Structure 1
């Protein structure tokens, strides 16, 4: 499955990456699985996801839960919680 993953705010800064095209292995079709897959890239990725704290996910520009299923060619956005005031 091919997806576009977009990183926002502190994730983008820490990873020095705003977006990438990924080919995911079979069985990776939910946000929590994607996060685990990205952490397999090594200690830097693990550290970034641990230090950033709770993250939000959007699938095709709509808020989603980490257990929602995404499909081929979907856009997945990962970002820290948004606060306003």
Structure 2
């Protein structure tokens, strides 16, 4: 009986210790999806593209008024499509 109570208390304590929040980092961080480097999508990423990629902006392809800031990188960074 005493071992069961001790086990229950230690399990409850472990659940309290190991359960927590991430401090809001998950909501504030960049949203990213990566498919083995072949295609990588970054939501709301206004980072400049590097000099080793062919950067194509969506305003070069067609006119738009509402930019999302999304960036799609193809073929391990060879081609970058930016929406900003």
Larger helix percent? 2
Q: TM-score, normalised by structure 2?
A: 0.25
Q: TM-score, normalised by structure 1?
A: 0.24
**Which structure: larger Rg?**
2
